[in-house]
Amino acid sequence: MKKIFGFGILLLGVVLFSCQNNDKQGGQLTSEELSEKSAQIAMDEIAMESATTELDYEVDFYANAEFVLSQWMGMGKHWGWMNGLRYKYNHCPDLTIENEDGGYPKTITLDYGDSTVLRSGKVLSGVVIIEISGPRLDKDYTRFITYEDFGVDSLVVNGTAQVTVDRENSVFRTFTSDLVFLLADGTSINRTSVREWEWIEGIDSEMDQTDDMVQITGYTNATTSEGDEYMKEIIEPLIRTRNCRFIVQGVVEITLNGELISSLDYGDGECNDVAILTQDGETAEVDLSVRKCRFK
């Protein structure tokens, strides 16, 4: 990923202040307080983007594997074939499938309990309910998803989403969601998103996650419990690979009250914990593992 050069002392101080976790001030914001708020929004969005990518991937994996799931229904955490996938040994969600007379609509319920650990180290919890309208090739095929206290590490998600699959090219999906995120510090954020997924690799090997790679575009509108409203747009497609804990490529921009406040560059495809935050005309490295700025 990119290297950082030539910080000015004065501007470095402003960005450094904005990346600290001081309490937010009420009333009219000074430029330094606005910088702090902008950086906090960027850090929160890193966490929510990561969580959204995980939950979208879980839904797409299980919906794609619907036929196999029906055959293995009821075996829960004892599924031997899960051991080679992205979960740690003996970690996978408990599964139930309900349908009408063996057909459709079909409801898949995934219960991750208090802790289902991925090989990447991320921890999933809670419940996901996937309602599938019909066979994948059906012209009216849709998926309706409900998230009930679905957790990704310390972040909790509730809400609904709908997924449609492109009729002409099945590697494309559209995720339309209305979700509420509860962050570890107690902040809640309502996010409505439209995200386009393109499977670059791995869609034809439904039960092999080692070759999975997806490209993500789209936008998000958000309102925080503190009353801030902002928009995030993916300017350059985000790339997610199976074997990396973090997004490895892509650029997003965040707009607050109609004004561009920051951009985040995830890099050029290398798997590491570094992204580049640009704010107030200056740049800083972000440690994605702890969502904090670090300076050279």
Whether residue 257 is contained in a domain is answered as no
Q: Out of 62-71, 202-211, 242-251, 256-265, which region has the weakest mean confidence (pLDDT)?
A: 202-211
Count Cβ atoms within 10 A of the Cβ of residue 169 and give its class: 0-12 exposed, 13-18 middle, 19 or more buried: exposed
Give me 126's structure tokens. 């809670």
- 44, 66, 213 from 21: Cα distances, Å: 12, 44, 34
Whether residue 242 is contained in a domain is answered as no
Assign 15 to helix, strand or coil.
helix
Whether residue 236 is contained in a domain is answered as no
Q: Report d(CA 151, CA 93) in Å as an integer.
A: 13
pLDDT at 28: 63
Give me 197's structure tokens. 């997924």
Residue 274's pLDDT band (boundaries 50, 70, 90)? very high
Give me 77's structure tokens. 């955490």
Q: Out of 29-33, 47-51, 76-80, 226-230, which region has the weakest mean confidence (pLDDT)?
A: 76-80
Structurally, how many domains does the chain consist of?
1
Length of the chain: 296
Would strands 106-111 and 116-117 be described as parallel, antiparallel, or unpaired? unpaired
Whether residue 72 is contained in a domain is answered as yes
Instruction: Kindly report the pTM of this predicted structure.
Output: 0.81
Domain that holds residue 58: 9-230
Q: Is the pLDDT of residue 17 over 60?
A: no
pLDDT tens digits, 115-126: 999 888 889 999
Pick the more confident residue, 133 or 65: 133
pLDDT at 102: 64
**What value does the mean pLDDT take over residues 206-231?**
86
Whether residue 171 is contained in a domain is answered as yes
User: Angle 263-266-268 (CA atoms, 0-180°, nearest 5)?
Assistant: 125
> Which of 57, 253, 250, 35 lies closest to 152 in space, CA to CA?
57
**What value does the mean pLDDT take over residues 116-140?**
88
Give me 24's structure tokens. 């937010």
pLDDT at 120: 82
Whether residue 266 is contained in a domain is answered as no
Whether residue 1 is contained in a domain is answered as no
Whether residue 111 is contained in a domain is answered as yes
pLDDT at 8: 40
